[in-house]
Structure 1
Amino acid sequence: MQLLAAKFNQIATAIETTNAQIAALQAKLSELQEHQQQLLSVEQACQSALAQVGTALSMLNHVDPAEIGTFKAAVEAQFGTDAIAFLESATPTPAETVEPEPVEPTAPESPAAPDVEPAIDVEATDTTDTPIVPTPTTTAADIEGLLNKMTIQNIRKLASAKKVSGNGTRAAIAGRLKAIVTQADIWNATA
């Protein structure tokens, strides 16, 4: 009995270590997905800004082409070191995260045991659509929160309707949709 108890404790320790590594990797994955969503939002804002600059330039060329140089100087001033120095990051710099030291799991040393990989249980959560109540003012964060409450089937259906890729996780799809959907779109997709 002593030998089996030691092996059981050894396996339990290996499971705990593996679960800690999985948790650290899941946290890192969430962090990377959030950063990817932020980059997508920035990309969309930059594309929108470029389109607006193009429209303004076209209008200025039609109204008074002599002022194009003034417009160019104003745009270039936005990229000056003084102007950028006044800009603050939208999100505070995250504190440095300490990742756990990777520890190689040890397998029980039993010559009679067959070479079988241990199974890792992963708890799956079932998310169902929750009723979305319209409010007069909805922020991008609210939209993203509402998107993340949708079932994967409904968010993929909404992505398809908006001609956006429905591939990936719910969070990834929500990141692509948050800048282009309204609360009414979400409401209609879950109704």
Structure 2
Amino acid sequence: MTNVRFSSLADYRDIETTNFQSDATQSGLTLEEIMASIYAKSRDNARTPMQWSANLPHAGFTNGVVDVTPWINVNSNYTDINVEQALNDPQSLFYFYQKLIQLRRAMPIIVHGKYEILHEENTHVFMYKRYDDNGQEIIIACNFSQQPIIIDDAQLNEKIQKRKQILITNYEEHLKSDWLDFRPYEAWAIEI
């Protein structure tokens, strides 16, 4: 699910958002400025009802009876983003998280391994390694940017090229030759 961007202030229910809107109006902010701040900060942006189905009233969150409506409106993108759609797509975020949970259960190093941040100076790519006293090592990297990013680290690149296995990636791994040349929002974990 994604954050909602209601077009009307009346659609927001959070008391902090309501109070902010009142204070901001009194201090002379325009509606456009108020809405921009609400889109960035309101808790209601992430509080919309679970989107179960594209075809049911209220995205399947309630049974659709007139007097049983959700306390806040459903995000209008429920026809495209919903549980039914995710369960029918083997590449969905739902199945990606299942794989992450399986990895965590299968590899104690993910929970109990030592932790070291790599390339901390890069503000868009969060990269770290997990390692243990037995020599097991995993490199985890996530590009949180919509832009491609290249990390220049020949030593790390050489280690990755000699990897034991790719544990998980959100892109097609056979299309990847340089693991430090990140595509937008790319994430992976590799056992070294």
Q: TM-score w.r.t. structure 1 length? A: 0.23
Higher helix proportion: 1
Q: TM-score w.r.t. structure 2 length? A: 0.23
Larger radius of gyration: 1
Higher strand proportion: 2
Specify which structure has the bigger relative contact order, considering alpha-carbon pairs within 8 angstroms and separated by 6 or more residues.
1
